[in-house]
Amino acid sequence: MVAVQEVTDQNFSSFILSDTPVLIDFWAAWCGPCRLLSPIVDELGLDLGEKLKVGKLNVDENPQTSRQFGIMSIPTLLVFKQGKSVRQIVGYMPKDQLLARIADLLN
């Protein structure tokens, strides 16, 4: 099973429809903080595989979804439950802080 999946404008709507919470990392290759956060997002995907579906969306390659959700700063993480955005986290943070920010959504 792939822990973290690539998300695009084309598959976004179907990707966020899930019985488990979905975390999407909005990122870009030129973004330093995005590169720092990326391995943490990968770890969350591996650690929380059954409790959390994780995807990454490149904002440069997928501008439609980025605009739809008003992504102005990256990295931005959006968490969805039943296809609805329930939490937005902007900027880099260590893994323990990120886990604390989403722990209540993992029930």
List active site positions.
Answer: 31, 34
Q: Closest Cα partner for 56 from 47, 70, 99, 65?
A: 65
Query: β-strand 84-90 against 76-81: which pairing, if any?
Result: antiparallel
Residue 44, token pair as written in the block: 């969350």
Q: Is 77 strand, coil or helix?
A: strand
Question: Distance between CA 79 and CA 48 in Å, rounded?
Answer: 14
Which residue type occupies 31? C
